[in-house]
Amino acid sequence: MIVGEAPGFNEDRQGEPFVGAAGKLLDTLLARIALSRADVYITNVLKCRPPMNRDPMPNEVEACSPYLRQQLDLIKPKVVLILGRHALERLMPGQGSISRIHGSLIKRGDVAYVPLYHPAAALHNGSLVADLERDFDSLKRYLDQLLAPPPPPPPPPVQETEQLTLL
- What residues have CB less than 8 Å from 28, skipping those under 6 apart? none
Cβ pair 19, 9 in contact under 8 A = no
DSSP code at position 157:
P
Per-residue pLDDT of the chain (167 residues; tens, 9 = 90+): 999 999 888 888 888 899 989 999 999 999 999 999 999 999 999 998 887 878 888 888 999 899 999 999 999 999 999 999 999 999 999 888 999 999 999 999 999 999 999 999 999 999 999 999 999 999 999 999 888 888 888 888 877 665 656 65
The pTM of the full predicted model, rounded to 2 decimals, is 0.85
Pick the CATH number of 2-146 from 3.40.470.10, 3.40.50.970, 3.90.870.10, 1.10.3720.10: 3.40.470.10
Query: Could you state, in order of their start, the residue ranges of all structural domains in the chain?
Result: 2-146
DSSP letters spanning 23-81? HHHHHHHHHHTT--GGGS-EEESSSSPPGGGPPPPHHHHHHHHHHHHHHHHHH--SEEE
Type and span of the H or E element at 87: helix 85-91
Vertex 46: Cα angle to 87 and 142 (nearest 5): 35
Pick from 104, 98, 139, 118: nearest CA to 4: 118
